[in-house]
Amino acid sequence: MDSLDLLYGIVIVVFFAMIISVGVYSRKNTKDVSSFVLGGRKVGPWLTAFSFGATYFSAVIFIGYAGKFGWDFGVSALWIGLGNAFIGSLAAWVILGKRCRIMTKTLNTNTMPDFFGKRYGSKSLRVTAAIIIFIFMIPYSASVFNGLSYLFTSALRLDRISYGYEICIIVMSLLAATYVILGGYMSTAINDFIQGTIMIVGIVLTIFCVLNYHGGMMDSLTKLSSVPAANGSSFQGVYSSLFGPEPLNLLGVVILTSLGTWGLPQMVQKFYSIKDDKSVHTATIVSTVFAVIIAGGSYFMGGFARIFVTADDIKTASGGLNMDKIMPIILDMAIPTLLVAILVVLVLSASMSTLTSLVLTSSSTITLDVLADNVIKDMNEKKKVSIIRILLAVFVLISMLLAIYSYRSNDMYITKLMSISWGAMAGSFLAPFLYGLFWKGVTKAAVWASFISGVGITVSHLILSNGALFGHSFKFPTGLPINLASPINAGAFAMLFGIILVPVVSWITPKLDKKVVDRAFADMPEDVISPKLDKKGVDKSVVDEQA
């Protein structure tokens, strides 16, 4: 072991000691379900905002997305980061934050499936939503493991060790599971604040190093402008242009990664936990600035991929391209050796924060929305928390095994894993959740239709992209301005389709019981309630429906 290995080891051990200490400290606040899952709905704006951002951005963005989309789109990939900041963060907080906090408190819901069950008066919707979350959260968690481990094996030279990748994943799994099992949501929120601060410092230093490697931003852009288009286009400087070589595919990524946060349970749950309306305003500003720095910086940095990496550098044995290797190669070239420890902690921070939110969300939904009162009768608060902790470990184990499998088989890359997860969950949940906060006319049938279309589109596309259709070979058409084979575009389509589908189905299917609707909107203040009010404050749309 040389002196640098010792330095990296010390930094990582200190980091892990810190996050485990936070878990131990937060353990005293995990006596019941609300405190374990939502921090007792008393989390302040800064902790909530950093938790939102740290959950949003993980190794998936630093290693997977920044590399792949920087390679595909050049510096126009910056649009993805800006979309994440202003649609995925700012607009999400402005449009959803206040109403979500009020309605979930009124209905006393701790999870997104619980929201669907009580908002639409259906236990079967609640159970189905929980199952969708548990199944499709696993590939997202595996993608976080993959991104983290690719960097570790490169930066810490773990490839010198037999099964170095697997050892890295197992260690990360144990540590992530430990601190969230100990301290629950409050542990993740405090650690997210610490880790978010590290992420900001780390990304600023990393961007400076990457640009400085080729003489600064202008020299880097000049060098990038000389790279010819991959498709043989005569467009000069396409990778340094405003919209890049594939504007429609770029738009698909913006929609998936930005609008998707509106329907993802681990993101929406941050709105549940914040303590008051004033905190929502502060958190909106903080989370948006955080997203501009982290997402904008990551995609901008990745946009210079082609002046660092050639296709031969990332070619696989089968002749394809392993996009997950792009950012580790760039960072290995551009980052001074002494700063690698900061880089490792940066990606480690981002990944651990996302991973813990995923496992907490998944285990709590299965416990509260599937097992409690359905499989296990009369489950008290203490028993619920204990089962959540057990399922946390199970979820981490399954995700760990999938990550190892995908690495060994080279069957899935990070962006594909994440796209499957986001497409299915946001495609299923975004529309009925969004409309459910604003419109009293959403029907139970419309929610079912959204669930079926979100999962159906994602799974059907996954089957077709593997070349099978009822036993016959299948290939998506090529040569179009948009890539139909992309799971990212399929996920974006699933979200947009749901937004159209829910109101259409609601207009032609039986309305919900008035008592169920009135209960959900009971505490909404006049300035945010349904716009169709008569002089007495009665909702005219409900009166019209009854008439």
Q: How far is it, in rounded angstroms, from Cα 52 to Cα 283?
A: 9
Q: What confidence score (pLDDT) does residue 536 get?
A: 45
Joined together, the tokens standing for residue 107 give 């209905």
Model pTM score: 0.83
Q: How confident is the model at residue 304 (pLDDT cuts 50, 70, 90)?
A: very high
Q: How far is it, in rounded angstroms, from Cα 332 to Cα 452?
A: 44
> Longest C-alpha distance within the chain, in Å?
80
- Mean pLDDT lowest among 127-131, 259-263, 314-318, 408-412: 408-412
Mean pLDDT of the chain: 81
Say if residues 502 and 435 touch (Cβ distance below 8 Å). yes
State residue 372 phi and psi, 5-degree precision.
-65, 125
The β-bridge relationship of strands 468-469 and 472-473 is: antiparallel
Q: How far is it, in rounded angstroms, from Cα 343 to Cα 331?
A: 9
pLDDT tens-digit readout, 489-520: 888 999 999 999 999 999 999 999 999 999 99
What's the Cα-to-Cα distance from 31 to each of 6, 191, 253, 264, rounded to whole Å?
Answer: 40, 19, 41, 26
Which range scores top for mean pLDDT: 96-110, 169-183, 429-443? 429-443
Q: For residues 339 and 490, which has the higher predicted lDDT (pLDDT)?
A: 490
pLDDT tens-digit readout, 197-231: 888 888 888 899 999 999 999 999 999 998 888 76
Q: What confidence score (pLDDT) does residue 481 get?
A: 72
* Three-state SS letters, 355-417: HHHHHHHHHHHHHHHHHECCCECCCCHHHHHHHHHHHHHHHHHHHHHHHHHHHHHCCCCHHHH
What's the Cα-to-Cα distance from 425 to each of 157, 171, 265, 450, 543, rounded to whole Å?
Answer: 36, 28, 8, 10, 34
pLDDT tens-digit readout, 145-165: 766 666 666 656 665 666 666
Say if residues 534 and 540 touch (Cβ distance below 8 Å). yes
Which range scores top for mean pLDDT: 162-166, 273-277, 304-308? 304-308
In residues, how long is the chain? 547
Q: Closest by alpha carbon to 185, among 297, 13, 23? A: 23
pLDDT tens-digit readout, 347-378: 777 677 777 788 888 888 888 888 877 777 77
Amino acid at 259: L
Which range scores top for mean pLDDT: 64-78, 383-397, 433-447, 459-473? 433-447
CATH of 3-27+43-525, one of 1.20.58.1880, 2.60.40.3950, 2.40.10.340, 1.20.1730.10: 1.20.1730.10
pLDDT tens-digit readout, 424-465: 999 999 999 999 999 999 999 999 999 999 999 998 888 887
DSSP code per residue over 75-110: GGGHHHHHHIIIIIIIIHIIIIIHHHHHHHHHHT-S
